[in-house]
Amino acid sequence: MGKTVKIVLAGEGGQGVQSVAQIIAEAADEEGKQVLYIPNFGVEQRGGVSVAYVQIGDGPIGSPKFEKGDIVVALSDRAVQRTGRYVGPKTAFLYDSSIPVEKGDLPGDAGEILPIPAIDTAKKELHPRVFNILILGAVLGATGVVPVDRARLAIEKKLGYKFEKDPKLRDLNFRAMDRGMELVKKMAGQRNGDTPSLFANNKQII
Amino acid sequence: MEKPIQEERKAFLTGNEVVAWAALVAGAEFMYGYPITPQNEIMHYWTRLAPRYKRGFLQTEDELSAGFTTIGGVMGGKKAFTATAGPGNTLMQEPLSMAEMMRLPVVVVVQQRGGPSTATVIYSQQEVTLTTMGGNGEGLRIVYSTSSHQELFDYTIKAFNTAWRYRFPTFVLGDGYQAKMREPLTLYDPEARGVAMVGTEPFVGKEGVPGIERPPAQHRNTFSLEEELYEKVKTDAGDYEKIAPSVAEYSSKYTEDADLVILSHGVVFRAVAEAVGSLREHGFKVGFFRPVTLRPMPVGPAREMAQKAKKILIAESALGQLARLFKEAAFGAQAEIHTLFKPGMGITAEEVEEKARELLQ
Amino acid sequence: MEAVRTEMPAPAMPRSWRVDTKPHKFCPGCGHGLVLKCLGQAIDELNIQGRVVFGCDIGCSLLSWDFFNIDTIQTHHGRTTPVMVGLKRARPELVTIAYMGDGGGYAIGAQHLVNAASRGENITVVLANNTQYAMTGGQMAPTTLPGQKTETTPYGREPETTGYPFMGPEMVAAITREGAYVARGSVANLRQLKSYIKKALENQIAGRGFSFVEALSGCPTNWRTNAAETWDFIEEEMPNYFKVGEIKASAAAKKGEEDG
C-alpha cells in the first residue's frame, strides 16, 4: 500500500459508523500502519449524521480531514447528502441499497457507485445488530487496508467481552464481516464488467 | 509516587486522553476544570486515572474559578493545571493575567474551537492571539503549539518543566481536531528517558511560623505607584527576553533554496508538511517553516528565513493571527507574503498544494 | 520582623499582626482595621499563625495584603474565594481565609461564593459589608440600603429599579448543609465579631465545611459621615436590614461557644 487510503463513513447515530471506524483504525494501528481517525462532532450530542474520517498509510498522515475520500460509505439518505462533497472521480461510493435515493442524489462524479444490500442482508441472513460489521467487511473488501485476520483481532478486542457471554456472537460477527466483503466484491464485479482492472486478480477497488 | 507508566509503550489514543496521560506522567498533582467542548475528555480521563495515583480533581463553577483554583494549587506548591477552549479561554485570561503578574507556573491546555463567541465546538486556530497575548498585560507567557499526538504528549510534559523552571504561565495550544482524533504515539515516563522533572516549591504555606521563624510570604498583583509597576514589568520582561532564545522552538525544511516557504503551526502544519513533500517530488522549490512556540516566537530563525525566501505563504485556520506574530518577528524582510486563511476551517494538504502551485506559476 | 513580640507595654495589636506595616493603610475610621483586629485575635487564640494563609480581594480589602505576619495572597476582584478553595484542596492541612468586601463577595464574585458554599468547601470567608464600593469612590453595591445615596444612586437607592439589599449570610445559610457556620457580626460589637470569626475558623479546622462571617463595617470616607454619624449608621441603620447574630451553627460549633 503506497499512498494513504482515505475513508469516510457516515450514517445515523446508532448505526455504528464510529465503531466501524474505530475497529478499522485500531486494526491498522496494530498492523503497524500510520493511522488517523477523527469523528465529526458538533454542538448536539445526538441526532445528527455521524461521520467518521479514517486515514491509513505508511508515511505520516496529513490533516485530519480531507477533500476527497478513496472510499465513502453512506448508510442513510441524510448521510448520502452529507458525504457528497467527499466524493470525486477517484472515489468508490458505497451506499446501502435500501436507501430510497433518486438518481440525482448520488454523487455524479464518483469513480464507482456501489449499492450494497447491507441492511437487508444483515436482517435476512444474520442479525440486524451486525449490520455495521457487515459494512466493516465491505470497506475491507473494497480497500484491503487491513488484513482480515487483523480485523478479526480488532473485533475480538472491541467486542470480546460480549463474545465471552455469548460465543455465538463471535461467529455471527465474523460471518457478517465475510459477507460484507463478498457483497462488495460481487457488486463491484457486476458494475465493472467493462473495467475489470479494478478487480482483476482479486485486487481491491483502490 | 507510583509511576503511571513503567515501560514505554505504543498507544492509539485521542488527543484529550494523551493530555491526561502526559499530565499524569509529568507528576501533575491536581487538575481544576470546567466543562467545555472540545477539551472535556481531558477531565474525563483525568478523573478516571487520578485516584489510582493519588492525584486530585476539582470541577469548578466556571473557567474563572478553574483558573483561580489552579493558581491556589500552584501557590500551595503543587503541580496543578487546567484545560479549556474558546469562550472558556476568554474567561481563563483573567486568572492567567494574575499568573503572569505573579510569575506563577500555571499550566493550561487549550483545545481551540471556532470563534468568535460560542461559534463551533469543532476546531480552529483562532485562539492564538488570545493565548499568546491575552489579558491586560504584555503576553509574558510561553505557548507551545503541537501538531501530533506525540508532540501533545511531549510538550504537555515539557510545559510543566518550563512553567516551574522559568515561572511564567505556560500553555499547550492544541485544537478540536487534535483533541478528538486518534493516532498512534509512544507513552513513556519522562525520567526513564532522562528528562528530569523540575521540582515545585510552595509560594505560601511554607515551613515555619511567619514573623517568628521567617518573614511572611506575601504576594500581590496590585501596586500603588507607576514607578513600582514599571520596575516590576521591566524586570519580568527582561527575564522573559533572557530566556526567550532558549525557550523558542521551531522546525523548518528545504528553506535554503526555496522559491516559496510555507508557514504554519499546529495541526495545519501536518497539511503543509504533506503538501511540501508532494511539491518537492514534483520538482518545486518549496520549503516549510513552523514555529513550535508561538510565544516567544523563534524570532531570529523566522527573520532569517524571511530574508532569504522570495515568497512566503502563511496557512492558518484563522484570519491572520499567526501572520501577525510572524510579521512582527520578520519585520523588514523583503519576501512577498501570501495567505491561505480559513478561520474555523480545517486546511487540507490538497488546498495548500494548489495554492502553492498558483504562487509558483 | 523582630518587632513581632513587642516589648511595648499593653500591646494593642494582635500577635499575628505585622507591626512594621502599621499604621495600616486604611482611612481613618475605616471598619477594616477593626475586622482584621478580630481576625488577628482569633488567629492568636487558636495559635494557628504558622498554618494560616490569608487571601484578600480587590477593593479596600486589598490593602491588607501585608497586614499580618501570615502568608498572604492578594488576588483579583471577586476571585479570592476560588484561590483559597484551590489552595485548600491542594493543601488541606492549611487554614485558608478569604477576605473580601461586599462587592467582591456578593456581586462580581457571587458565583464563586455560591458554589464554594454549596460544595461545602472547607474554607473560611470573612466579608466586610460597608454598603458600597469604597475603593472605586462609593458606588452602589448589592448591600446599599434603600434610599442610601452613593455615586451611582445620587438621589438614593430605589429598590423598584435597583433591588433591595443583598442578604449574604441568609443566602449562604440557605445553600449550605449542616456543618456550615454562618454568622453576621458588626464592628459595633468586637467581642461578638471575634467570637464568630473564631468559630468560623474552628469550624474549618474541624473540617466541618464552609464557614462564613459577614461583618457590618463602616466607611466614613465615602459615606461622608463624622464619627457620630458613622456609628449611628452602623448601629442603627444597617441592622434594620442586616440582622446580627449566628444564622447557622452546627451543634459542635455551639458547644464550642459554651465551652469557650
For residue B118, with 0-12 CB atoms within 10 Å meaning exposed, 13-18 middle and 19 or more buried, which class applies?
exposed
Structure confidence by residue, pLDDT tens digits, C144-157: 999 999 999 999 99
pLDDT of residue B110: 98
Task: Indicate the pLDDT class of residue A204, thresholds 50, 70 and 90.
Answer: low
Question: What number is the average pLDDT over the span C23-44?
Answer: 96
Count chain B–chain C contacts defined by CB atoms under 8 A.
145
Residue B129 touches partner A, C-beta closer than 8 Å: no
Give me the residues paired with residue A84 across strands.
none
β-pairing verdict for A5-12 and A49-57: antiparallel
Residue C79 touches partner B, C-beta closer than 8 Å: yes
Question: What number is the average pLDDT over the span B209-238?
Answer: 97
Residue found by looking up cell 444564622 in the block: C247
pLDDT, chain B, mean:
97
* Partner-chain residue, chosen from C18, C85, C91, that has the shortest CB–CB distance to B211: C18
Say yes or no to pLDDT of B360 above 50. yes
Q: Determine what percent of chain C is predicted with pLDDT higher than 90.
A: 91
Say yes or no to pLDDT of B217 above 90. yes
Least confident of A89-98, C77-86, C91-100: A89-98
- Spell out which residues of chain C touch residue B108, defining contact as CB-CB under 8 Å: none
pLDDT of residue C255: 58
Question: What number is the average pLDDT over the span B29-46?
Answer: 98
Backbone angles phi, psi at C222, to 5 degrees: -85, -30
Contact A204, A142 (CB under 8 A): yes
Least confident of A146-150, B96-100, C68-72, C99-103: A146-150
Half-sphere exposure at residue C228, Cβ-oriented, CA atoms within 13 angstroms? 0
List of domains in chain B: 9-193 (3.40.50.970), 250-360 (3.40.50.920)
Say yes or no to pLDDT of C129 above 70. yes
Least confident of B17-21, C74-78, C252-256: C252-256
pLDDT of residue C5: 55
SS3 A52: strand
- Spell out which residues of chain A touch residue B271, defining contact as CB-CB under 8 Å: 62-63
Contact B240, B317 (CB under 8 A): no
Q: What is the pTM of this model?
A: 0.94
* Partner-chain residue, chosen from B12, B122, B350, that has the shortest CB–CB distance to A41: B122
Question: What number is the average pLDDT over the span B143-157?
Answer: 98
pLDDT of residue B271: 97
Q: Report chain A residues touching chain B, CB-CB < 8 A.
A: 22, 25-26, 29, 34-43, 60-68
Backbone angles phi, psi at B102, to 5 degrees: -95, 5
Contact C72, C54 (CB under 8 A): yes
Task: Indicate the pLDDT class of residue A29, thresholds 50, 70 and 90.
Answer: very high
* Partner-chain residue, chosen from A29, A41, A63, that has the shortest CB–CB distance to B121: A41
Give me the residues paired with residue B83 across strands.
B109
SS3 B120: coil
Say yes or no to pLDDT of A198 above 80. no
pLDDT of residue A195: 36
pLDDT of residue A205: 54
Please state, in angstroms and rounded to a whole number, the distance separating the CA atoms of residues B157 and B109.
11
Residue C61 touches partner B, C-beta closer than 8 Å: no
Residue C86 touches partner B, C-beta closer than 8 Å: yes
Q: In terms of Cα–Cα distance, which of A107, A79, A188 is closest to A141?
A: A188
pLDDT of residue C1: 47
Each domain of chain A, given as residue ranges in start order, spans: 5-191
Highest mean pLDDT range out of A77-91, A97-111, B171-185, C6-20? B171-185
More confidently predicted of C254 and A94: A94
Count chain A–chain B contacts defined by CB atoms under 8 A.
73
Q: DSSP letter string over A124-169?
A: HHS-GGGHHHHHHHHHHHHH--S-HHHHHHHHHHHHHHHHHH-THH
pLDDT, chain C, mean:
93
Residue found by looking up cell 528530569 in the block: B196
* Partner-chain residue, chosen from B182, B183, B347, that has the shortest CB–CB distance to A63: B347
Helices A148-165 + A168-191 axis angle, to 10: 150
Strand (E) or helix (H) holding A38: strand A34-39
Task: Indicate the pLDDT class of residue B183, thresholds 50, 70 and 90.
Answer: very high
pLDDT of residue C9: 56
Q: Residue C154: CB partners within 8 Å, gap ≥ 6? A: none
Kindly determine whether residue C72 and residue B218, on different chains, have CB atoms separated by under 8 Å. Answer: yes
Q: In terms of Cα–Cα distance, which of B95, B106, B113 is closest to B16?
A: B113
Domain C31-259 fold is: Rossmann fold (3.40.50)
pLDDT of residue A206: 53
Kindly determine whether residue C72 and residue B219, on different chains, have CB atoms separated by under 8 Å. Answer: yes
Strand (E) or helix (H) holding A57: strand A49-57
DSSP state of A108: T
Measured between alpha carbons, how far is residue C248 from residues B324, C129, C169, C182, C197 in Å? 56, 19, 9, 5, 13
Q: Residue C161: CB partners within 8 Å, gap ≥ 6? A: none
Verify A-B touch: 3 or more CB pairs within 8 A.
Answer: yes
Q: In terms of Cα–Cα distance, which of B95, B106, B121, B94 is closest to B35?
A: B121
pLDDT of residue A13: 85
Structure confidence by residue, pLDDT tens digits, C216-249: 999 999 999 999 999 999 999 999 999 999 999 9
β-pairing verdict for C124-129 and C211-216: parallel
Question: What number is the average pLDDT over the span B153-173?
Answer: 98
Half-sphere exposure at residue B80, Cβ-oriented, CA atoms within 13 angstroms? 32
Say yes or no to pLDDT of A188 above 90. no
More confidently predicted of B150 and A205: B150
The correct answer on CATH 3.40.50.2300 for the domain covering A5-191 is no
pLDDT of residue A202: 43
Q: Determine what percent of chain B is predicted with pLDDT higher than 90.
A: 99
Residue found by looking up cell 503538501 in the block: B275
Residue B184 touches partner A, C-beta closer than 8 Å: yes
Question: What number is the average pLDDT over the span B8-12?
Answer: 96
pLDDT of residue A196: 33
- Spell out which residues of chain B touch residue C71, defining contact as CB-CB under 8 Å: 204-206, 210, 216-218
Say yes or no to pLDDT of C7 above 90. no
pLDDT of residue A41: 74
Structure confidence by residue, pLDDT tens digits, B58-116: 999 999 999 999 999 999 999 999 999 999 999 999 999 999 999 999 999 999 999 99
Kindly determine whether residue B210 and residue C71, on different chains, have CB atoms separated by under 8 Å. Answer: yes
Contact A92, A206 (CB under 8 A): yes
pLDDT of residue A193: 45
Highest mean pLDDT range out of A88-102, B161-175, C1-15? B161-175
